[in-house]
């Protein structure tokens, strides 16, 4: 009776070595531990170029190599049909550049959101609405700084914190934040586009 090898290939795997093995891009399981260890040591890619680059591979090629390695092995792929190997050259982390980029994004986001809020308030005439509400309720003219403006400011800040489910290192609950969801969708779309474009190039069809 042949052993069944289960492989769960990840959609995108970042590697820093030029020799890429199956264990680097997939979770591997087999009741036969010897067959599992042998499969994990299978080399799926050897990178020749000395630069950061993404490589598109097909799961069927991996299965073919596994079958050549052990013809009696039954392969069950639970993961991706096509997958990406993202090679990043090994090196020291650029902490200064990373902090500089983070600071730049924070500044852009802060002033951009502030400008958007101010233009919305002007378009909706929020200050005029507050003045009119204050005059109707209190029977006096507003000086522009009342409990309405204070409540609006505090409520706006709290609303942003609750919506994004994140403040500094504190999370309100365990759900992913909207930014995390959007980043994951963005990454998935990039991966799918790379794989689809690679398939079009191989078949000679390219809309670009």
What is the structure's pLDDT at 207? 39
Residue 43 contacts by C-beta under 8 Å, 6 or more apart in sequence? 19, 20, 21, 22
Domain shared by 39 and 107, yes or no: no
Nearest to 79 by CA among 12, 13, 7, 4: 7
Report yes or no on 208 lying in a domain: no
Q: Please list the ranges in the chain whose pLDDT falls under 50.
A: 205-208
What is the structure's pLDDT at 206? 43
Domain, as residue range, for 81: 4-87
Report yes or no on 207 lying in a domain: no
**What is the residue whose two structure tokens read 């067959």?**
35
Report yes or no on 155 lying in a domain: yes
Domain shared by 82 and 33, yes or no: yes
Final residue of a structural domain among 87, 110, 137: 87
Domain shared by 12 and 79, yes or no: yes
Domain shared by 16 and 76, yes or no: yes
Report yes or no on 22 lying in a domain: yes
Domain shared by 160 and 106, yes or no: yes
Length of the chain: 208
In angstroms, the CA 32 to CA 83 distance is: 26
Report yes or no on 71 lying in a domain: yes
What is the structure's pLDDT at 163? 80
Domain shared by 25 and 104, yes or no: no
What is the structure's pLDDT at 90? 83
CB 67 within 8 A of CB 75: yes
What is the structure's pLDDT at 201? 61
Neighbours of 151 (CB within 10 A): 11
Final residue of a structural domain among 59, 87, 115: 87
Number of folded domains that form the chain: 2
Domain shared by 99 and 83, yes or no: no
Domain shared by 117 and 51, yes or no: no
In angstroms, the CA 56 to CA 164 distance is: 34
Write down the pTM of the prediction: 0.69
């Amino acid at each position: 009776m042949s052993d069944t090898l289960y492989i769960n290939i990840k959609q995108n795997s970042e590697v820093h070595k030029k020799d890429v093995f199956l264990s680097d891009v997939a979770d591997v399981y087999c009741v036969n531990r010897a067959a599992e260890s042998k499969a994990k040591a299978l080399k799926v890619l050897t990178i020749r170029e000395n630069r950061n680059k993404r490589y598109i591979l097909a799961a069927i090629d991996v299965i073919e190599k596994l079958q050549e390695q052990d013809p009696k092995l039954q392969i069950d792929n639970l993961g991706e049909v096509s997958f990406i190997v993202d090679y990043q050259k090994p090196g020291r982390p650029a902490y200064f550049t990373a902090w500089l980029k983070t600071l730049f994004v924070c500044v852009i986001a802060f002033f951009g959101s502030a400008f958007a809020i101010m233009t919305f308030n002007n378009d909706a005439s929020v200050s005029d609405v507050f003045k009119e509400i204050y005059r109707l309720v209190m029977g006096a003219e507003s000086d522009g700084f009342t409990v309405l403006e204070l409540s609006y400011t505090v409520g706006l800040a709290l609303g942003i914190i609750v919506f994004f489910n994140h403040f500094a290192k504190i999370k309100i609950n365990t759900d992913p934040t909207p930014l995390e969801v959007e980043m994951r969708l963005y990454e998935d779309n990039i991966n799918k586009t790379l794989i689809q474009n690679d398939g079009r190039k191989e078949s000679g069809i390219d809309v670009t």
